[in-house]
A and B are shown apart, each in its own frame.
Chain A
């Protein structure tokens, strides 16, 4: 068994934050040496804002460094190990992305610079717009949305504006499969639409008969996650697109899972009218508490006038920012998360078309390798070839020994792995959603599968060790229910420090 070498902390007595920042504070101790005063002294501008009575910790520089380094060592990240968090695409982020984003011309550019003096940055955005347009088979792209959910909202608001312009505001329903990302119904509701859930059939596809019965002239759009959160590609997708268009409705694509068919099929060719991508997932920019994200929205020409502003237009030497004619507006200050855009373009250009195709191939092969190795030990609710992720169920373990999916996830921490996504998608009881990504070799996959098989054995032979996990982590099982019911959102020092 793999164990971590972290020193175990006792949550009852060890308050990591308190020990360093406040309890170690000593009056007069300093982290920096200030130079001698060589200007006249002046009164503080406003004593309401600069108060002496605030208790701030006073620490030496090395104590501050040790504090933050200590916290960073408690973090689990893609650079420290395998991270199969389903639907999140926690793939390795190549360091060339960071090298390029740190080039002075990118790192120091100011969003209010004259376009003339920022042609390189604008060209970078233009190249990325073109690349995403080519990858998705769409006509126009806005890089403005700051994350996937914002891209979704933009897409749906564009559909709303488009329908209003056509005098079709009576279309108030958005259809959403029960295997969609949870943000999809939230987006439709935020945009003011009524949501109708399309059930999945027993093989995991959208129920075509239900869809047929639900389609009428009140339907504005269908939001479809492709492949779905079950990791499955709906083979009826072209028929679904045609059915929607026949009824005057639009098809929205949630492209968060684009990793699964990068370079192999295109949303635009399939019949989607609008799709958002998650650059921080498919195009390997840092995320997971580390953000920020980027959720460009890509559209067919009939929706292009509504794109969120700004978009980059023009050509060599004459790139400029443009506000589309009927834009739904701005989604954030300036031009999107520029540093993320630079990293994504670096990733695309360093891999090239063949490299991008290899990503989807390896992502799918890796997920199916995990599926085959674990299918005897865990229930496989949808028994068919998956794409980039595999959804298993812990229901067999729960019925046999009371070991729940949450316990299995916690036990994986003892084996040195980040747990997969659990209890999602909602249509799978005791779901374990595993996305290995293309970035892992067979050895890492085998280590993970060996751990999962070992936990399945433990669930039969020694269920208590699984139910009590994690045993080796810095903190044991956290009380999520109390944290949610009675959250303590503010830390208060217990007592005045002794001097």
Chain B
């Protein structure tokens, strides 16, 4: 599927949806498909600080455990608690119900350096077989 236009992306396959200075973070449809069925997420507590491109948690699928990288810098203000009982939401609805964290950005303009949907789709087409 084409990636939603209103989001920003990283080459590590995370997305950010901005609302004021708060960014909602998830993984892309490509990422959930490559990982396979998600069985567990290990996420930071609210109040934790995350930094751009630093590891903030782990996501485990039936295939492997992978690291999650923060696409932005700031404080975690909310985590998607529904994923604790229903990690499959990441597979079923990666851009919506399967969101992972909400982060208050210390510098909201930081998001400008991420890829837009067209750039991300282009990256998928060229960089990923």
Point out the residues of chain B lying under 8 angstroms from A429, CB to CB.
Answer: 34, 129
CB of A426 closer than 8 Å to a CB of B: yes
Contact B62 A395 (CB under 8 A): no
Closest B residue to A484 by beta carbon equals: B39
Between A and B, how many residue pairs show CB distances below 8 Å? Answer: 26
CB of B18 closer than 8 Å to a CB of A: no
10 tightest A-B CB contacts, nearest first: A481-B37, A484-B39, A423-B63, A480-B62, A485-B39, A481-B62, A426-B64, A395-B129, A484-B62, A481-B39
A457-499 interface bits toward B, Cβ cutoff 8 Å, 1 = contact, 0 = none: 0000000000000000000000011001100000000000000
Q: A395-B129, A481-B38 are in contact. List 13 more A-B contacts (CB 8 A).
A: A399-B129, A423-B36, A423-B63, A423-B64, A424-B64, A429-B34, A481-B37, A481-B39, A481-B62, A484-B39, A484-B60, A485-B39, A485-B40
A436 to chain B, nearest CB (A): 23
Q: Is the interface of A mostly helix, strand, loop or mixed?
A: helix
* Chain B residues in the interface with A (C-beta under 8 A): 34, 36-40, 60, 62-64, 87-88, 129
User: Which listed residue, A399, A480, A485, touches B87 by the CB 8 Å rule?
Assistant: A485
Point out the residues of chain A lying under 8 angstroms from B62, CB to CB.
Answer: 480-481, 484
Instruction: From known contacts A429-B34, A429-B129, infer whether A481 and B63 are also in contact, taking CB-CB under 8 Å.
Output: no
Point out the residues of chain B lying under 8 angstroms from A485, CB to CB.
Answer: 39-40, 87-88
- State in angstroms the CA–CA spacing of A395 and B33 once bound together: 13
Q: What's the tally of chain A residues with a CB closer than 8 Å to chain B?
A: 11
Point out the residues of chain A lying under 8 angstroms from B87, CB to CB.
Answer: 485
Point out the residues of chain A lying under 8 angstroms from B38, CB to CB.
Answer: 481
- State in angstroms the CA–CA spacing of A429 and B34 once bound together: 8
B74 to chain A, nearest CB (A): 25
A423-437 interface bits toward B, Cβ cutoff 8 Å, 1 = contact, 0 = none: 110100100000000
7 A-B pairs with C-beta separation under 8 A: A399-B129, A423-B64, A426-B64, A481-B38, A481-B88, A484-B60, A485-B87
Point out the residues of chain B lying under 8 angstroms from A424, CB to CB.
Answer: 64
- State in angstroms the CA–CA spacing of A480 and B37 once bound together: 8
Interface residues of A in 401-440 (CB under 8 A from B): 406, 423-424, 426, 429
- State in angstroms the CA–CA spacing of A426 and B66 once bound together: 10
Point out the residues of chain A lying under 8 angstroms from B34, CB to CB.
Answer: 429
Contact B40 A484 (CB under 8 A): yes
Point out the residues of chain A lying under 8 angstroms from B40, CB to CB.
Answer: 484-485
Point out the residues of chain A lying under 8 angstroms from B88, CB to CB.
Answer: 481, 485
- State in angstroms the CA–CA spacing of A290 and B87 once bound together: 33
- State in angstroms the CA–CA spacing of A481 and B37 once bound together: 6
- State in angstroms the CA–CA spacing of A429 and B31 once bound together: 12
- State in angstroms the CA–CA spacing of A480 and B63 once bound together: 10
Point out the residues of chain A lying under 8 angstroms from B129, CB to CB.
Answer: 395, 399, 429
- State in angstroms the CA–CA spacing of A485 and B40 once bound together: 7
Closest B residue to A422 by beta carbon equals: B63
- State in angstroms the CA–CA spacing of A424 and B88 once bound together: 22
